[in-house]
Structure formats: structure tokens, C-alpha cells
Structure 1
Amino acid sequence: MTDNSEFAAKLKSRLQDLLERAEVIEDDLRHPLDADWSEQAVDLADDEALEGIDEALRSEIRQIGYALKRIDNGTYGTCAKCGKDIGAQRLKARPIASRCINCAS
């Protein structure tokens, strides 16, 4: 079994950062709308952009969770499609990768 503790530590650190950022965004999205109609329009446009960012953060959070599960069950670094090893350089560049470069393209 390969020691993936360095990858796990990086993934957990990134996960914590994303969770904190998502919490800030969610807090901002919960604010009540301003009484002024023009301000409401600006707030709604801002909220739409924040929702898109939050969705992207949540997607990465899920992917990190999957990567940590693969580390726990010993399948991290193995392509989910072809079963071959995912290159170390690819994992360093994209630690959440579940497919080798050939299967990902």
C-alpha cells in the first residue's frame, strides 16, 4: 500500500479552507433584502454570482471527500476507469483526480 499521507494532509487542508469559504458565502446569502428596489436588484445579482461560486465550492468539497475515501480504502492513485496507476505528477497537480490522464482526456 502506498503512503498517501502527504496527499491526505493537503486534501484535508484544502477541504477546511473550502468549508470556511462556503460558510462565509452562505452567511452572505442569508442576509435579508434591502427595502430599496434598486438595491434589491443589485443584491439579487450579487446573490446569483455567489450561488454559482458556492456550487463550485460544494462540488470541489464532494470531490475531496471522494479522494479521501479512496485514500482510506486503498484505491487512491488507481484510475477508476481503466485500473492503471494515476501518475504522481497528475496527483500532485490535481489531488482529486480519479482517472489517469489518458482516461480523463
Structure 2
Amino acid sequence: MTDLKSVKSGLEARLAELEARAGRIEADLAEPLSADFEEQATEREDDEALEGQDALLGREIVAVKAALARVDDGTYGECTRCGEDVGEKRLEAVPEAALCINCAREVEQH
């Protein structure tokens, strides 16, 4: 059986790490562009990559917060789509997993 206290602690640590990374990316994106036009082109490319990373981090933050909410409301480990057990091994690998492996595969196919 899953130890919810350690799961919650791990999710909270992951959330803090993700939010710190997102904060650093947002600070980098807020930096003004260089006056040098060639340097600006490089900075814009870097900013595009950072924006992509920020979007991915944002989705992961949402998933971790949702997992924490499921821990709090007692539904952690239940598939949010079909209600079946997500599975101990899946939760060990992906603690924020909201879907059982079957539902996750179905969602990926669509």
C-alpha cells in the first residue's frame, strides 16, 4: 500500500522544484533584449526554447497540484477517467499520474 505522507511530501518537493525552475525561466524571459541585432537574434531563439520549457513546466505543475488535491480528497491512486486503480508501479514511476495505463494509452491514441 502506498504511504500517502511520503507521496505528498515527494509531490510537494517536486512542486517546489518545478515552481523554482519556472520562476528562473520567467526571470530570464523578462530580461530586455541586447542592443546588438545579431545578439538579439540569438536571444530570441533562446527565448523561444525557454517559452517551450515554461509551457511544459506549467503543465507539469498543474498535474502535480492535481495529484496533491487527490491525496487530500482521498482519491489518489484512482483513475480520474474510469475509476480503476492507477497501479502502484505506475504511481512509483509517475507520482502525479491521474490515469491508469489503459486510459493513458487511449488518450494518447486520440
Query: Normalising to structure 2: TM-score of the pair?
Result: 0.90
- Separation in 1 of the partners of 2:74 and 2:3? 10
After superposition, where does 1:26-65 map in structure 2 within 5 Å?
Answer: 26-65=26-65
Gaps of 5+ in 2: 106-110
Q: Compute the RMSD of aligned alpha carbons.
A: 1.1
Aligned length: 104
User: Could you list the per-position Cα deviations for residues 5-57 of structure 1 after superposition, in whole angstroms to 9, with x for gaps in the alignment?
Assistant: 11111110011011111111111111111111111111101000000001111
Task: Tell me which residue corresponds to 1:84.
Answer: 84
Task: Tell me which residue corresponds to 2:104.
Answer: 104
3-state secondary structure, aligned to 1:97:
coil
Identity fraction in percent: 51
Q: Shift of residue 90 of structure 1?
A: 0.5
Gaps of 5+ in 1: none
Runs of 4+ in 1 over 3 A off after TM superposition: none
- Separation in 1 of the partners of 2:3 and 2:92? 14
- Separation in 1 of the partners of 2:52 and 2:67? 23
- Separation in 2 of the partners of 1:82 and 1:29? 40
Q: Shift of residue 3 of structure 1?
A: 4.5
Query: Normalising to structure 1: TM-score of the pair?
Result: 0.94
